Chains A and B, each alone.
Chain A
Amino acid sequence: MARILTVEDDALTAREIVAELQIYGHQVECVGDGVEALRRARSGAYDAITLDRMLPGLDGLGVVTELRREGVDTPVLMISALSDVDARVRGLRAGGDDYLTKPFAPDEMAARVEVLLRRRRAGERETLLRVENLELDLIARVARRDDAVLELLPIEFRLLEFLMRNSNQVLTRTMIFESVWGYHFDPGTNVIDVHIARLRRKVDGGSSPSLIHTVRGCGYRIGAGK
């Protein structure tokens, strides 16, 4: 269970965020203005913050800038109605860790928060990722399952790395595309599905149990079990 601060001035959206994060078993506190958000977040007592870009008092950019200036490194998911590239760049440059545009699917928001929480817990320093009997050596750039080396293309390696860094978490197609390819648009058709299907054939082909799972209506998850 993580402690999360939700900063959102629109009551309906705030309720949605809180409800969704509670489903994941988190303890959520909600505030409606920037000044109060800054006061509470300063303590560093939260594991993650969802921060609306436009707020009364002090806006989201101001809040995150000030937090980073004061050395508070709580991961921040910026949520904004501004969808253009410049707004995203400004949000991330100010210190946001991820950026989500409104309107958003609550499960996507929750999945992004989970990724931030995981990153905070694990850090980026891991050099060997492991999920069940699947192993990814980030230094030697080698993937093994049951000690058998998997022949992966560079893009498949990056994709598997992202999945494994966030093992047992639901990752949406948009999140995968943004993180692995680094672009922020809808690639259309089922491009990501086809990449996952290829990776799955290599990772799960012949071995049981299968590790890469499709989460209906949402995305993918790597891990044991259904």
Chain B
Amino acid sequence: MSTDANPALPEPIAAPGRWRPSAVRLIVIYGAFFLLWSIVLVGSISWQTTQFLDKVVGEILEQRVHYLATVDRSQLPAMLAATNQLDLRGVMYFGLFDARGAYVSGNIDRLPEGLTPDGSIRPLPKGLKAIDGQLNARALGVALRLESDDVLVLARTTSVADRIGAIMRSALFWALSLLLIPGLIGGYLLSRGPLRRVRDIEAAVAPIMRGNLGARLPLSSRRDELDLLATIVNRMLDEVERLLGEVKGVTDSIAHDLRTPLTRLRAQLHRVQQANDPDDPRAAAIERCIVDVDALLDRFRALLRISELEDLRRHAGFAEVDLGETLRRVHELYAPLAEEKGVALDVSADSLPLVSADAPLLFEALSNLVDNAIKFTPAHGTIELRARGQLAGTRIDVLDSGPGVPLGEREAVLRRFYRSRTTGDGGGDGGGYGLGLALVAAIAKLHGFCFEIGDNAGGGARMTLYCWPCSSAGARSA
């Protein structure tokens, strides 16, 4: 039951900004996959459509070139001109070149590059130059050597296929915009609900971490995953509470059962001491034994007292109490002890309204606080007992100029047997922070008051008892 047996307090939860809700993450991943798949799908449709349209264009060109090849050579320029007239959309190109490749007729004035006069359809990636100087982007062409040794060239731009591709890409863009934007907004809104509930759970966990093992996580009527998780945690807390209760019960039983033999042991030692000559060297050893047994008995008594207070639910001993007067009586009891230690103990109390409380228990709680303050305040230090009226009720502060209680230990010092690492062991009298503050917390809880450990403005500890009904009755740390 030493200090070392107490595990360190859990680290506080990191800043809220660092938390990313899982719904947002899932929506982002889903959105990325959706985007990728849509691009692949539309790309594939666009490619197949282009291929099909190119094939159709190629067939048209093949038909035309073979038809024109059958036309009489002398009538061919006129025929080409007539056909050109019919091509209102300007997608068809014709050209008749002689055996040397010189221009004879048509709207192309030179043989396009990469076109051999074998009658097969070829793409013209570099486009072709029309007489009017217009450069078409992409086209398919065919060249055929006629019987007259002239070369007939037919070409057609593929702008229709390209435009269909553009329409599909634009459709894809709009479809994605319409799907992704509401998706992301919806995802954000969806994620806020669970996050809010997680925050509620975090708030509910705070008193449990402070040691109120009777508190449970909130459940909604939705019966969703969070409720399932909260139910599991609540069940776990039931078990933890039961086990801790058992441990406390066993500790109490040990304390209770050991008190009788220890009391007998002390009585026997006392008799031996009385029967012996005080100058006998063994007398000092017996005296030390008695002191040790007394320390053990004190410890057990305090332990059982805390259990008794923790189990006390009734307010039978409550009466109207003058807190200022109580504080002055505590001061009267401890002033000589403080003086002996060279510590200034001051008391200041306003004229305060009476408070419904158990006067002896409040006196006991305040005595423990002052006893602790004297113990931990070095010589020439100061301790101030202060009772002030506030809007909600009376607040009692015990302010000392000792080393203070480190932030991380303010919850732990309220546990039974915890001893602050920085303030030493607090002496071997069974008091110290070991049980004194646990007792104060138990008395505060019994009254429904809040007990808070904080910093004294001038350095040192501030132990505050808020003497009015408090929602988180018992202990809290500032």
Contacts and interface: CB of A to CB of B under 8 A. Distances in A.
Interface of A: 16, 83-86, 89, 102-107, 155, 181, 183-191, 194-195, 197-198, 216-218
B368 A188 contact: yes
A183 B360 CA distance: 6
B257 to A, nearest CB: 10
A194 B302 contact: no
A194 B364 CA distance: 18
A186 B304 CA distance: 12
Contacts of B336: 191, 194-195, 197-198
Q: Is the interface of B mostly helix, strand, loop or mixed?
A: helix
Given A183-B363, A194-B336, A216-B287, A189 B263 contact: no
19 contacts: A83-B308, A86-B317, A103-B260, A103-B262, A103-B264, A104-B263, A185-B305, A185-B360, A185-B364, A185-B367, A186-B298, A186-B302, A186-B305, A187-B367, A188-B429, A188-B431, A191-B333, A216-B287, A217-B290
B273 interface: yes
A107 B332 CA distance: 29
Size band of the interface chain B makes with A: 35 or more
B242 to A, nearest CB: 25
Contact of B263 (A86, A103, A181, A216): A103
Contact of A217 (B259, B270, B312, B371): B270
A86 B298 contact: no
Contacts of A197: 336, 340
B267 A105 contact: yes
Nearest to B291: A217
B270 A105 contact: yes
B371 A188 contact: yes
Contact of A216 (B278, B302, B333): B278
A97 to B, nearest CB: 19
B324 interface: no
Nearest to A187: B367
Q: Is the interface of A mostly helix, strand, loop or mixed?
A: loop
Interface in B251-286: 259-260, 262-264, 266-267, 269-270, 273, 278
A191 to B, nearest CB: 5
Contacts of B305: 185-186
Which of A184, A188, A191: most chain B CB closer than 10 A? A188
B317 A189 contact: no
B334 interface: yes
> Which are the 6 A-B pairs with shortest beta-carbon distances?
A103-B263, A188-B431, A103-B260, A194-B336, A217-B290, A194-B337
Nearest to B258: A103
A216 B360 contact: no
A183 B364 contact: yes
Contacts of A186: 298, 301-302, 305
B287 A189 contact: no
B375 interface: yes
Contacts of A85: 317, 360
A188 B436 contact: yes
Nearest to A20: B267
B316 interface: yes
B358 to A, nearest CB: 8
Contacts of A217: 269-270, 273, 287, 290
A106 B270 CA distance: 10
Contacts of B308: 83-84
A103 B255 CA distance: 12
Contacts of A105: 263, 266-267, 270
B61 interface: no
Contacts of A183: 360, 363-364
